[in-house]
A = this chain, B = another copy of it.
Amino acid sequence: MKKIIASLFFIGFSIVLSSQNELAKTYNLMPWPKQIEESNEAFLIDKNLSIAIHSLHDQARVRKAATKFLRRLSNRTGVFIDNGFPVETASASIEIHFDRNSDLTIHADESYSLIVKETKIKIHAKSDVGALRGLETLLQLVAHNETNYFFHGVAIDDAPRFVWRGLMIDAARHFQPIAVLKRNLDAMASVKLNVFHWHLTDDQGFRIESKVYPKLHELASDGLYYTQDQIKDIVAYAYDLGIRVIPEIDVPGHASAILTAYPEYGSKDNYEYSIERFSGVFDPTLNPTKESTYLFLDALFSEIAPLFPDDYFHIGGDENEGKHWNENKEIKVFKEKLNLKTNHDLQTYFNIRLEKILKKLDKKLMGWDEIMTPTMPTTAVIHSWRGENEGLPKGGSLISAAKKGYQTVLSNGYYIDRMLSVEHHYSVDPIGTIELSSEERKRILGGEATMWSELTTPLVIDSRIWPRTAAIAERFWSSKEVNNVDSMLKRLSDVNKKLEELGITHIKNRAVILRNINNNQDNTALETLSKLCEPLKMYSRNAGGTEYKTFSPFTMFADACVADAEYAVPFNKNVASLMTNATKDIENLIKNDLKKWSEIQEHFLKTDKNPNTKPLESLSKNLSSCSKLLLNALSTKKITQIDLDKLEFLLTRLEAPFLDTELAIVSALNQLSTYCEITFLVK
């Protein structure tokens, strides 16, 4: 950084070509752009900074984005900028040029170029949305020294790899208020995501106000739903950010809420439908053999579809086990009559009926990959959520869909609710090494991170989405070759912090939870533990879907913990290094950590306990003891068999889950123990 500062007022623009990885050390850009060249210039951010928009087309979207840009820049740097709004003068220091307004379809152009020189910044884009993407890149170029803030001098050419870069938010399992959605839309835009997939209905709730079927929101939402005005507000908000909004009405399964309101469309007579409080796959299913079901869906879709200007409409279609269909005689007869051999065939019949309804409404049907049956027309869009891990061939349903002629979007590998590491998600490439024809490749539109909300309330949702989704966004936007994990982690750490300026609560709400748990006492111990533990992964936190109800408390220790535990990630890496190449520096880093953790119990003992902190006592005590023993071994270069036995005992204890979390350094501690045994054992 210093090097660039020194030349802050140099004249000239000498372009230095460096390798992308080298540049990524200086520039915390995410997603990484297609092409970047650095100069030795810098643009000083002071009160004179101004923005002008140059275009013959509607400037509203860019004007709003530029105004937000000015607020964020001012708020981040503390610079009092004279012109708080875009100016009309030609002499503005930041110029934005664009050629047309984006129609927000999958054919929209989001490319842009950005040049930062000493006294002038220029963004050129084909569309206004491209200009927005450029403004976000510019905000990632802010740097400072002791006396000034400035933009790094660069020349960037950028365009996305995939046209569909989405985040799905499940507002059905846990309702997510408007404010949650707006701040997440802002965060999405900041990492150039462009599709908000809104999972609006499920067994646990129907979240849309319906004027045609008012019982849906009245009886099937616990009062937690979006009014049609609020939906329009979100769609407009997303539009301003260049984000498409795809609604999902999940049918024919996941229908407990719908059938709570309108049991007459269910597959089982006299069944007592009710809003589901647990998680999992449930039996209530729409009856696909009744014409009234289609009249209902036609009227409902006709009401809902116009709220969403996008071409695509998601009908779910997943996880229907057809149990209620099997139990219904009339459905059996219907299947026989129409020669529908399996429930899959029946569901395809249903889907094709829906496709016709949606076509009438100018919508393309999209559904989870179960809809991809042999007779399903290729006009449908396949949302791939199952892959090799689910027993499918290499490439999973995504590649298979593309080869069969369907447009397709990948979510397999991007299930962020599973609380897996960012490295895992980042490593999932939609196409990988599979060879595709150009037509097949074109059908792979992109991907979506999916934020299922069984365990995710408004309080914690941001820490489940971010920062991992920023790395997934890079996977969708940047070229396949941008895949260096260390570089990603370093840039992600910067993006992670900047998300706070958009109101993302992923950091601050964890502190709120810990203050609540600990009754506002000194939180040193709990905070350290929460940065060493991770919530149980996959779906083991809520075994069978019955450990938590929708209204259970999600304000406990596990909710203050996140994937990629902050202290665990570097520690684990250091221990791995030590195993292969024990340097003094690495050893010192490990010893510093062990020292800190050996003191946890001391802090913990100073606090009054309550039912939520008491169960952490053994974790705190065992971790402190274990750290002390290892620290002692590393410091004295000696360890006795007695201490090794103690260590083994402690480590066994530390392996068990604590309050729905796991200690994320336990395997590194085991490695260290082995290392000490091999290296330092006193015989």
Contacts and interface: CB of A to CB of B under 8 A. Distances in A.
A507 interface: yes
How many copies of the shown chain assemble into the complex? 2
A441 interface: no
Interface string A551-564: 11111100000000
Interface string A74-98: 1111111100110000000000000
Nearest to A505: B508
Contact of A611 (B148, B516, B549): B148
A550 B67 CA distance: 13
A500 B505 CA distance: 13
Contacts of A178: 178-179
Contacts of A519: 144, 497
B179 A553 contact: no
Contacts of A74: 551-553
Contacts of A177: 179
Nearest to A227: B229
A549 B80 contact: yes
Given A555-B78, A610-B146, A508 B512 contact: yes
A306 interface: no
A551 B71 contact: yes
B614 A551 contact: no
A144 to B, nearest CB: 5
Given A500-B515, A516-B501, A553 B146 contact: no
A612 B45 CA distance: 14
Interface string A537-570: 0000000000011111111100000000000000
A553 B80 contact: yes
A55 interface: no
Given A508-B511, A612-B78, A551 B179 contact: no
B500 A555 contact: no
A614 B147 contact: yes
Given A78-B555, A549-B84, A555-B75, A611 B149 contact: yes
A509 interface: yes
Interface in A155-197: 177-179
A178 B233 CA distance: 12
Interface in A491-507: 497, 500-501, 505, 507
Interface residues of A, number: 57
A223 interface: yes
B511 A497 contact: no
Contacts of A145: 610
A85 B551 CA distance: 9
A215 interface: no
Interface in A96-152: 144-149
Contacts of A552: 74, 80
A235 to B, nearest CB: 14
Contacts of A64: 223
A679 interface: no
Nearest to A614: B146
Contacts of A520: 497
Q: Which residue, of A75, A222, A548, has the highest number of chain B Cβ atoms within 10 A?
A: A75
A316 to B, nearest CB: 25
A178 to B, nearest CB: 7
B512 A509 contact: no
Contacts of A290: none
A66 to B, nearest CB: 13
Contacts of A81: 551
A566 to B, nearest CB: 12
A240 B675 CA distance: 63
A175 to B, nearest CB: 12
B76 A516 contact: yes
A670 to B, nearest CB: 30
A70 interface: yes
A611 B70 contact: no
25 contacts: A70-B551, A75-B554, A75-B555, A77-B612, A78-B556, A79-B553, A80-B548, A80-B552, A84-B277, A146-B609, A146-B610, A147-B611, A149-B610, A149-B611, A178-B179, A227-B233, A229-B229, A497-B519, A497-B520, A500-B515, A501-B516, A501-B555, A507-B515, A508-B508, A508-B511
Given A146-B611, A146-B614, 8 more contacts: A76-B516, A77-B553, A80-B548, A146-B610, A179-B179, A229-B229, A501-B516, A508-B512
Q: Report, nearest first, the 9 A-B pairs whose CB atoms are least far apart.
A: A84-B551, A179-B179, A508-B508, A75-B555, A497-B520, A229-B229, A74-B553, A146-B609, A144-B610
